[in-house]
Amino acid sequence: MLDSQIETFLVVAECGSFSSASERLFLSKVSVMKRIDNLEHRLGVTLFERSTQGVKLTLAGRILANGARTVTRQINNLLDEVSHAGTGTSHLKIGTSMLFPSQSLFQYLWKRNINTDSFSFEVTPYETGMKGMSKALSSIGDDIDIVAAFHDPTEKLNNCQVLPLFDEPVHLAMPRSHRLASKNNLQWKDLDDESLILAKRGMLETPDRIRDEIEKNHPHVNIIDVADPFEMSTFNLCSEMKCLMGVMPMWENIHPSLVSRPMDWEYTEKCVIIYSSHPSPATQNFVDFVKSNVNKGEKMGLGNKNRK
């Protein structure tokens, strides 16, 4: 839908050279350079810094590239929405990762007999870890419509809205060979002389509250700080160091060497749907649909009750 000069510009920006762009576009290098020259003349600015190593975007080029990519996503989203309008279904792109799989949302809905057949879904993967989540949330409204995740209430989400669904209890994971793996439920006294992996202070509310209780009431529990509790490397660390870490029940089978057990405490994480502050009609339809049906289920006593 963009004109050929802008499309060529975006390919050159991505490839970093006129030669690579010409191969991708099946055009001669001269033709590609001519399109860029004409675009620069048309706009009255220099878009690329040329060198023998390739090309690099100028400030004006970066502004155009960011804007053109946004417009391209918006056009594609619009065309996608229009193409589904005749089918009577609303189409959504759902972000998914290993720790925050999209099926967790649907299992929650299906358990409450909430039929989602009036919607069609496209799964869009994103990387694990806090950086991966941050990147996914920056794409909310463009590449991704909604993400189901656990949301720290102290975290500020730019350009996003949050629909709370339910609270999940924090369990403790440990190696299968760990002395506590044979227990069905854990209590604080079981954790004496054990090491517990926690996110560094100030990162997340629930780990901070657990840390506060340990420092105040359970000095025999050793704390291991990690920079990102949602990286798979943290699960590997738990296995290698034969220690404990807080996990969600849905992560039971994430790591083959670990098992998780309920802990006798009140700590939970809130599962939410995260979506754009300016949602598409399809996204808003889905959010309203979930909100209406979940509220109806709560009134009927189908809500997920907090567990210790």
DSSP characters over the chain: ---HHHHHHHHHHHHSSHHHHHHHHT--HHHHHHHHHHHHHHHTS--EEEETTEEEE-HHHHHHHHHHHHHHHHHHHHHHHHHHHTTT-EEEEEEE-SSS-THHHHHHHHHTT---TTEEEEEEE--SHHHHHHHHHHTBTTTBSEEEEE--TT---TTEEEEEEEEEE-EEEEETTSTTTT-SSB-GGGGTT-EEEEEPTTS-HHHHHHHHHHHHH-TTSEEEEES-TTSHHHHHHHHHHT-EEEE-GGGTTSSTTEEEE-BSS--EEEEEEEEESS--HHHHHHHHHHHHHHHHHHHTT-S-----
What is the pTM (predicted TM-score) of this model?
A: 0.68
The CA-based dihedral angle spanning residues 146, 147, 152, 155, taken in that order and rounded to the nearest 10 degrees: -50
pLDDT for res 299: 40
pLDDT for res 192: 96
Per-residue pLDDT of the chain (308 residues; tens, 9 = 90+): 568 899 999 999 999 999 999 999 999 999 999 999 999 999 999 999 999 999 999 999 999 998 888 787 777 666 666 665 555 567 889 999 988 888 888 888 888 888 888 888 889 999 888 888 888 888 888 889 999 988 776 677 778 899 998 899 999 999 999 999 999 999 999 999 999 999 999 999 999 999 999 999 999 999 999 999 999 999 999 999 999 999 998 898 899 999 999 999 999 998 899 999 888 888 998 999 998 887 654 443 334 444 33
Extract the tokens encoding 48.
């690329």
Residue with tokens 């860029």: 36
Contacts of 256 (CB under 8 A, 6+ apart): none
Burial of 99 (0-12, 13-18, 19+ CB in 10 A): buried
CA–CA gap between residue 168 and residue 226 (Å, rounded): 22
- For the chain, domains (ranges, CATH) are 4-79 (1.10.10.10), 87-168+270-299 (3.40.190.10), 171-266 (3.40.190.10)
Extract the tokens encoding 148.
């189901």
CA–CA gap between residue 24 and residue 8 (Å, rounded): 10
CA distances in angstroms from 254 to 180, 233, 234, 258, 271, listed in the order given: 19, 12, 12, 8, 18
pLDDT for res 307: 39
Residue 161: CB atoms within 10 Å = 17
What backbone torsions phi and psi does residue 184 show, to the nearest 5 degrees? -85, -30
pLDDT for res 138: 85
Sign, CA torsion 60/62/66/71: positive
Contacts of 291 (CB under 8 A, 6+ apart): 163
Distance of CA 9 to the CA centre of its chain: 30
- The b/e string for 74-83 (b: 16+ C-beta within 10 A; e otherwise) is eeebeebbee
